[in-house]
């Protein structure tokens, strides 16, 4: 299998963490791409030019990190990171979606800042930053216990790290002890240390 990726992407990082937690890394070649991911050989894989994309040996392509992580979770060994059913399943899915929304707001602000100065929108930048902060507040209230390892907690921890990485001035840890405890516990794992953004 091949995982097309960007080192800094929080959506890619989620897939890379799952690869490691599920013991699948030896079976997958991680291929780092340069932004804006427009090389013809990659747009033939993912026509919208976004990462991540997972390509199986038979050529089947998975895009979108929740889909990729669900597939890898079913394929790999060890406990399921996405509980198969019941309230635990939906709780993990809700937290995964919340973490992805935090990441989406953060990425939007970054992308807007890369536009030519005369094309940037302070209104949209402010809107996305406000959404990011509100979502971090919700993540604080809903964060699972620090020793819980599922796809929801993984995604929230990655989102918190990414928010701090891109926007240290937000100082998200100041008033969010539950989210901080979750982030600290998961960032200590080998799968997180090996995929830390740079």
pLDDT digits (tens, 9 = 90+) for 143-191: 999 887 999 999 999 999 999 999 999 999 999 999 999 999 999 999 9
How many folded domains does the chain comprise?
Answer: 2
On whether both 71 and 140 belong to a single domain, the answer is no
Instruction: Give the three-class secondary structure for 84.
Output: coil
On whether both 35 and 98 belong to a single domain, the answer is no
Q: Is residue 43 part of a domain?
A: yes
* Cα→Cα distances 128→12, 17, 95, 116, 123, Å: 21, 26, 19, 18, 9
- Structure tokens given for 89: 């399943």
Q: What is the pLDDT of residue 12?
A: 98
On whether both 91 and 182 belong to a single domain, the answer is yes
Q: What is the pLDDT of residue 115?
A: 87
On whether both 141 and 94 belong to a single domain, the answer is yes
The enclosing domain of 161 has a CATH number of 1.20.1050.10
Residue entry with tokens 């405890």: 181
29-32 and 61-63 beta bridge pairing? unpaired
On whether both 101 and 47 belong to a single domain, the answer is no
Q: What is the pLDDT of residue 198?
A: 79
Range of the domain at 103: 86-189
Residue 157: CB atoms within 10 A of its CB come to 28
On whether both 65 and 91 belong to a single domain, the answer is no
Which of the listed residues 27, 52, 75 is the one where a domain comes to its end?
Answer: 75
Q: What is the pLDDT of residue 38?
A: 86
Which of the listed residues 75, 108, 130 is the one where a domain comes to its end?
Answer: 75
37: alpha, beta or left? (left if phi > 0; alpha if psi -120 to 50):
left
Q: How far apart, in whole angstroms, are the C-alpha atoms of residue 93 and residue 87? A: 10
**Average pLDDT value for residue range 94-121:** 93
Instruction: Give the three-class secondary structure for 59.
Output: coil
On whether both 103 and 45 belong to a single domain, the answer is no
Q: How far apart, in whole angstroms, are the C-alpha atoms of residue 181 and residue 153? A: 11
pLDDT greater than 90 at residue 138: yes
The secondary element (H helix, E strand) that includes residue 53 is: strand 53-55
On whether both 90 and 172 belong to a single domain, the answer is yes
Of 24, 147, 10, 139, residue with least CA distance to 66: 10
DSSP annotation of 64 reads: S
Average pLDDT of every residue of the chain:
94
- Reported as a pLDDT band with limits 50, 70 and 90, residue 131 is very high
pLDDT digits (tens, 9 = 90+) for 65-101: 999 999 999 999 988 999 999 999 999 999 999 999 9
Q: What is the pLDDT of residue 36?
A: 86
On whether both 92 and 62 belong to a single domain, the answer is no
pLDDT digits (tens, 9 = 90+) for 12-70: 999 999 999 999 999 999 999 988 898 888 999 999 999 999 999 999 999 999 999 99
Q: Is residue 185 part of a domain?
A: yes
Of 10, 5, 15, residue with least CA distance to 151: 15
pLDDT greater than 90 at residue 140: yes
Q: What is the pLDDT of residue 108?
A: 92
- Structure tokens given for 145: 């216990």
């Amino acid at each position: 299998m091949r995982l097309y990726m960007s080192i800094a992407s929080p959506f890619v990082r989620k897939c890379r963490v799952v690869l490691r937690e599920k013991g699948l890394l030896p079976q997958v070649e991680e291929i780092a791409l340069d932004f804006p991911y427009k090389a013809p050989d990659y747009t033939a894989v993912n026509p919208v030019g976004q990462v991540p994309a997972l390509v199986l040996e038979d050529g089947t392509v998975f895009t979108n990190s929740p889909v990729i992580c669900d597939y890898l979770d079913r394929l790999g060994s060890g406990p399921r990171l996405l509980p198969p059913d019941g309230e635990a399943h939906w709780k993990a899915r809700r937290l995964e979606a919340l973490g992805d929304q935090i990441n989406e707001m953060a990425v939007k602000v970054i992308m807007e800042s890369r536009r030519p100065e005369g094309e940037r929108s302070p209104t949209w930048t402010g809107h996305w930053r406000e959404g990011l902060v509100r979502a971090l507040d919700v993540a604080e209230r809903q964060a699972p216990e620090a020793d819980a390892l599922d796809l929801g907690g993984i995604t929230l921890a990655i989102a918190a790290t990414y928010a701090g990485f891109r926007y240290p001035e937000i100082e998200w840890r100041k008033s969010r002890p539950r989210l901080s405890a979750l982030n600290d516990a998961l960032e200590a794992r080998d799968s997180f240390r090996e995929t830390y953004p740079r």
